[in-house]
Amino acid sequence: MFKTLYLRCMGWARHPRAEWYLSGLSFAESSFFPIPPDVMLAPMALAKPSRAWRFAALTTFASVIGGLAGYAIGVFAFDMVEPILRDHGYWDHYLRSRDWFDEWGFWAILLAGFSPIPYKVFTITAGVISMALLPFVVASFLGRGGRFFLVAGLMAWGGAELEAKLHRWIDVLGWTTVALVVALYLYLKQ
């Protein structure tokens, strides 16, 4: 099952329009979409290691532009978005991001951009609290760029050898991940 999905992802990564898809995903994830661009960036950098830095730069740029869209949502449309945040389990993240902004400001965006924390929540919150635009953009470039260049660099460094190992071990890795997620869910449920 996982091997088929892996091969399909690698096929998409080699698609002639892959860069367009990566840009669209990066933009959307920063303002409203739940799937991070790493799921496309990593296989693309693995499939074409010589273009990994280009992919990372493209992902970073599109993500920051998407972050500006999230900022605009926070400024102009938060009343429309608030019920969505509540209904889709992002409300606690939103409240936490407000607390982080109160305490750390610039560093909250930088950390959210680099980490797996939902960046879109922070971009919207930055708009709601009217964070200064220049620090927002700088922190977004640093955080998102750091993350995406790290992902692309690791994949390019591994190259064909890593791709072959992943191909060989993908089913074991996939089922191990599923087992860990189920175990974590059951543990947290208790």
- Kindly list the domain boundaries of the chain, sorted by start residue: 15-159
pLDDT at 144 over 90: yes
Dihedral of alpha carbons 180, 10, 146, 49, sign: positive
pLDDT of residue 167: 60
pLDDT of residue 135: 95
- The 10s digit of each residue's pLDDT in 84-140 is 888 988 888 888 888 888 888 889 888 888 887 788 888 998 999 999 999 999 999
| Residue 84 structure tokens | 């969505």
Q: What is the mean pLDDT of residues 23-34?
A: 88
Dihedral of alpha carbons 9, 12, 13, 19, sign: negative
Q: What is the mean pLDDT of residues 30-51?
A: 85
- The 10s digit of each residue's pLDDT in 172-185 is 666 776 677 778 77
Selection from 79, 37, 80, 30 nearest residue 55 by Cα: 37
CA-to-CA distance for 30 and 9, rounded, in angstroms? 21
Work out the mean pLDDT of the chain and round it to a whole number.
85
